[in-house]
Chains A and B, each alone.
Chain A
Amino acid sequence: MPDIIQIEHLRYVYNAGMPDETVALDDVSFTVGEGDFVGVIGATGSGKSTLIAHLNGLNRPTSGRVLIDGRDMWQKGEDLRAFRFLVGLVMQYPEYQLFEETCAADIAYGPRNMGLSEAEVAARVREAAAFAGLDEALLQRSPFELSGGQKRRVAIAGVMAMRPRVLVLDEPAAGLDPEGRDTILSQIRDYHQKTGTTVLLVSHSMEDIAKYADRVLVLSSARVAMYDTVEAVFDRAPELLRLGLSVPQITQVFLRLREMGLDITADVYTVPYAVKTVQKALAAKQQRKGGAADAP
């Protein structure tokens, strides 16, 4: 089975030939397997949003190829819309896309565009609303009278309702309070686990990526800086810091400890794992001490 997403030497230039020409992506190559949960991270302006707009044909590569399920959407005879239903894209601050009179009607916009029957549309709206944690009562209200977090969820449900095989979210937690962040992100994780959908989560918070993703794609000035498992990427924490990314606070603590000469690994990125590592290090130290005392 081919990987669901294959990106080959992707290059994208904004305003080519103008004084403000910007190379937003340069020789980007990577693949994503079906069912993966990939975190995409990078400083502001590193090209994250530009990259994901390529996944469902909103941007056309300046050069290079984007293959979804082994097919190139820019090949003659391909239907772009089919790819848009295959790869669901939740844009940054997606609440501005709401326009219908009720939340239910807005969530139904995508599925209706797919040409599904009304019964099927209604079923999908209910399913997506449940995934996004929206009450049945809320569905009949106008999206414009909801809170920011609720609007965000309606917008995310509107994409989930299309049942895409890949769900791409651009900073879905940006601008929310800590509780709202956690709720939305863990709902996305539940959705991933229950449906097996491939998920690409764009974020600039290492903490979030560490908590939810299996693999991390690090973008830096239009290029792929790293693409590996979460552990492997955090093991290179000093490099991440040099790229202008913050690493989780707990990882920073461990980096400093290692700088101070302690013999511990630095790929620590969650508190429970940190506790275990400290216990292990302490036990090892105790043993060494004990060994020294035993000696004559």
Chain B
Amino acid sequence: MLRDITIGQHFPGDSVLHRCDPRLKLLGTVGYIAVLFVAGNPLGIGLALAFLAALYAAARIPYKMILKSLKPILPIILFTSVLNLFFVSGQGQAPLFSWWVFTVYPQGVRYAVLLSLRVIALIAGTSLLTYTTSPIVLTDALESVLRPLGRLHFPVHELAMMMTIALRFIPTLIEETEKIMNAQKARGALLDTGTVLQRVKALVPILVPLFISAFNRASDLAVAMECRCYRGGEGRTRLKVLRYTRTDALCAAVLVLALAAIAATRWLVPGL
């Protein structure tokens, strides 16, 4: 149940994409998102989707994982498509059909489809990043990419450390919540029936133990970090130093070419 949350879920594997430098993947994802907004025509979106499908295949991640990551935002996609469908009017176009107050123009259909595909590509693209990169590695990459901001006294290391710790403990807390819920269910707790007030009350036996254990964990962790003389980012070296390899260079080349091609559709085939 709780485990079905896929945001940030890692799908371990040993493909090129899994081994690729996380900084490259992070920048590549940002680039992909940007390109999605640059290339707005059917050809561009089509190419972007094809490129993504190829990446998923290369990462050997089953396509049903895409569906899984799309599930939570499906209502949003549907809602915006329906709005587009009914509220976009084609200039001078003949309506496809009209019924009562609703009139649908070809232009509306076009917007609705393109927008949904774009959101799908966006979500599937960012999910690919988290599927192929473990969250810890990803925060390392984020710290490394944001390091220049440190010159402006932006606490990059502290932020990354907080993120690492938070990410590290999300699965633990989920597991803990499940355990506590099971223990209280075994004592007859009713968690998903009753009035709103009853449901809120039913959360107390779960939240109290959860907070107590989270605070205990946090203080244990703080002690453990202090025992090992943790004192922030200054002068800190890493166990795993990120280094670009030749494969990374190759991946980067492929990525830049593909993104450039997708973006270029905007200017090369403007008629679409």
Interface residues of A (CB under 8 A from B): 15, 17, 19-20, 53, 56, 58, 81, 84-85, 88-89, 91, 94, 96-99, 109-110, 113-114, 144, 158-159, 162
In the complex, residue of chain B having the shortest beta-carbon distance to the beta carbon of A15:
B3
User: Measured between C-beta atoms, what is the minimum distance from B7 to chain A in Å?
Assistant: 16
In the complex, residue of chain B having the shortest beta-carbon distance to the beta carbon of A96:
B209
Chain B 170-184: CB-based contact to A (< 8 A → 1; otherwise 0): 000000100110111
A110 — which chain B residues lie within 8 A by C-beta? 187-188
Other than A19-B13, A91-B179, A109-B187, give 16 A-B pairs with Cβ distance below 8 A: A19-B12, A53-B182, A56-B186, A84-B186, A85-B188, A88-B186, A91-B182, A96-B183, A96-B209, A96-B213, A97-B183, A99-B206, A99-B209, A109-B205, A114-B188, A162-B188
11 contacts between A and B (CB under 8 A): A15-B3, A56-B186, A96-B176, A96-B180, A97-B205, A98-B209, A110-B188, A113-B190, A144-B212, A162-B187, A162-B188
For the residues of B in contact with A, the DSSP-based class is helix
- Decide: A19 and B188 in contact? CB cutoff 8 A: no
A162 to B188, CA, bound (A): 9
- Decide: A99 and B179 in contact? CB cutoff 8 A: no
In the complex, residue of chain A having the shortest beta-carbon distance to the beta carbon of B178:
A58
Max count, chain B CB within 10 A of own CB: residue among A84, A96, A109: A96
A45 to B82, CA, bound (A): 50
User: Contacting B185 at CB < 8 Å: which of A84, A114, A144?
Assistant: A84
User: Contacting A97 at CB < 8 Å: which of B180, B188, B190, B204?
Assistant: B180
- Decide: A58 and B185 in contact? CB cutoff 8 A: yes
From 154 to 194 in chain B, residues with beta carbon under 8 angstroms from any chain A beta carbon are 176, 179-180, 182-190
User: Measured between C-beta atoms, what is the minimum distance from B184 to chain A in Å?
Assistant: 6
A114 — which chain B residues lie within 8 A by C-beta? 188
A85 — which chain B residues lie within 8 A by C-beta? 188
B11 — which chain A residues lie within 8 A by C-beta? 19
A89 to B13, CA, bound (A): 38
A81 to B180, CA, bound (A): 17
